[in-house]
Structure 1
């Protein structure tokens, strides 16, 4: 009986060890699976900002939502030749040229200031841009970016008429809300509700305030080139006499430290006062100005913690 009892005990013990041995790997696999599921449940998708909606602070004539990184200075050369329909005598516009030289500086990643001088109207201008909203992806994504823009321009031409051209009457103010969305790596679109206030108008029937709605976009065609379009529609109730909607098409070429922009437009001027409220050329009749913008960025003040 005693041997039989020991034999039974040994068999039961062996069976228990076998069951435990088979259960251990299964239990370990279950623990690994539960750990992976728990890890996936706790890892929430992150909210990320959308960058490089446009490659420059300018679309063609007007501004984009972009502001340079903090401490970055932008030197901008804008150039327009004469109209293509001016004929061979003027070398189809190449004998005539206007220019604007500008400097822009980013006080923060969201706040930019700038100044410029144009040969058109011998105008001095200054502006402020503030990027209020940035497009994001992920949870509670923001679908668009919003940048607020304000500028003032002063015409310094000498006049020989009997009209009062004192300093306050020479000033023109412009205000814009720049709203853009980057749909994918290739396509970005922007709308630009615009108000231009002129302290002095030359026609008594013209309003001091000019309202326009700008639309534009960028379609990338290669890694470093894109096609840009821009159009400003003037609201009829406040449209100045003889002024047309500004139309522009261009090609952006990114070359290392700067962006080279080639374009054609019916606007000779390169600030909001000129291309929104003073464009008189008919694009489809050949009143087309060929021009370019050259943007060169310089890091004036590196961010804290940055090391070369």
Structure 2
């Protein structure tokens, strides 16, 4: 695979390569044997994704090239393509892009000579978020086969829901959705269950926030959302002993989840954030190896299989 754009493009073997490489990198101090530059082109606000990419790059010995759209030439009318080509021309070895367009990568794929990582595409996909979510599940259960995973929340506007639903299905998990009326997405062929049933049946409950910034006309009464569709203390008590709670964050406390459950014993929310560094290190190292950018590289030292 030449770029990391969508989980739909990944085989089960490729996903396991990423997860196993991430686990090995957690305990490794290896870094690239020469200097590489990563351009982090973030056109949307980000804390966890951007910062974990920066930490991942520094741990691998890369030099991050920062970008602020408001102070860049894009404020003068420069296109995404010309911005990306500029970074490539001045020496970037890797492009990491987050953009509000669902398919921003169509402007770049096949038109650059360096690999591209999708760090979030509008309502489309968020494949590196999926890898850290999968890593967290993998650490917990050691397998995905027949796991019951429920993704709960604003499915219609969530790129996280899409990437995880595709990847989990590839790995053999059983994926279900639960959503408030109007938050369903009929383009995704997965069964819906009520939140009460979801809590009782799931091995993994993956909560999503309401994506207010992506709503065009629809409004939501967040005051009653928790009681009607969120994870309350009462619903958490119906979950099986081994079930875990995930959330890609940012968390809207007392909206999609009772604030007392954010750091409860079954919550893995902050563990996901920690795993984000290692999952993104793995994606970077494997992708650069595929391009032949680095020969004596981290991925080779970890004895992984290329994508």
Q: TM-score, normalised by structure 2?
A: 0.24
Larger proportion of helix: 2
| Larger Cα-atom Rg | 1
Higher RCO, Cα 8 Å, sep 6+: 2
The TM-score normalised by the length of structure 1 is 0.24
Larger strand share, 1 or 2: 1
